[in-house]
Amino acid sequence: MSRIGKSPVTIPSGVEVKVDGNVITVKGPKGELSQEVDSCITLSIEDGTVTFTRESDAPDHRAKHGLYRALLNNMVQGVSEGFKKELEVIGVGYRANATGQTLELALGYSHPIVIEFPKELKISTVSEKGKAPMVTLESHDKQLLGQAAAKIRSLRKPEPYKGKGIRFLGEEIRRKAGKSAGKK
């Protein structure tokens, strides 16, 4: 049996889980999320926990068993606590500025890059003198948050020679040595 799939998801106080056919809806203080579940997986809600069972040991059913348990766990955690990702914008002249749901980035191109984000995502930037600008993304939807962070990072990935680019906070970039001096 799937080790992830068979462990139950505990529902914290203030979070409400509803099952309507094959759609799970999770509602909490931070927002509301819903997810469609495959018919091969059945779930039951008892005593503040949700348990998942699968109809057979087929590889496809075993994979979905753990998947839907992990998705529900992320939904419950998102509507109760929320998720947060921080990105560093490293490079001379690189800037980040957030106003409302738009993020404006100056990344060394001939034009500034402006990205519009959905209302479920909260964007903020911090620019301190002597430090790299930071972009902070917060949301109750983990999938949306990861997708938005990956989109921002893809605009200027960190390069291995000078380390310039957009990286996640704490991300290690493998550095390469530049060209060696001329031959003697």
Domain residue spans in the chain? 3-80, 83-168
More confident residue, 6 or 154: 154
DSSP structure class, residue 128: -
98/118 Cα distance (integer angstroms): 13
Q: What is the pLDDT of residue 1?
A: 46
Superfamily classification of domain 83-168: Ribosomal protein L6 (3.90.930.12)
pLDDT band at 178 (very low <50, low <70, confident <90, very high): confident
Three-state secondary-structure class, residue 80: helix
Task: Assess contact for 101 and 78: CB atoms under 8 A.
Answer: no
Tell me the average pLDDT across 118-144: 94
CATH topology agreement for domains 3-80 and 83-168 = yes
Q: What is the pLDDT of residue 183?
A: 61
For the cut 70, the answer to whether the pLDDT of residue 2 exceeds it is no
Question: Can you tell me which residue has the tokens 């390069």?
Answer: 159
Three-state secondary-structure class, residue 9: strand
Q: What is the pLDDT of residue 179?
A: 84
Q: What is the pLDDT of residue 76?
A: 94
The dihedral through the CA atoms of 74, 76, 77, 83 has a sign that is positive
For the cut 80, the answer to whether the pLDDT of residue 180 exceeds it is no
Q: What is the pLDDT of residue 82?
A: 93
Q: What is the pLDDT of residue 6?
A: 86
72/45 Cα distance (integer angstroms): 12
Around 23, how many Cα atoms within 13 Å sit in the side-chain half-sphere?
Answer: 5
Q: With pLDDT > 90 as the criterion, what percentage of the chain qualifies?
A: 74
Q: What is the pLDDT of residue 135?
A: 96
Superfamily classification of domain 3-80: Ribosomal protein L6 (3.90.930.12)
What is the per-residue pLDDT across 35-90, written as a single tens digit (0 to 9) for each?
999 989 998 999 889 999 999 889 899 889 999 999 999 999 999 999 999 999 99
Around 182, how many Cα atoms within 13 Å sit in the side-chain half-sphere?
Answer: 1
For the cut 50, the answer to whether the pLDDT of residue 163 exceeds it is yes
Tell me the average pLDDT across 99-126: 94
Q: What is the pLDDT of residue 182?
A: 57
Q: What is the mean pLDDT of the chain?
A: 91
Element (H, E) at 145: helix 142-154
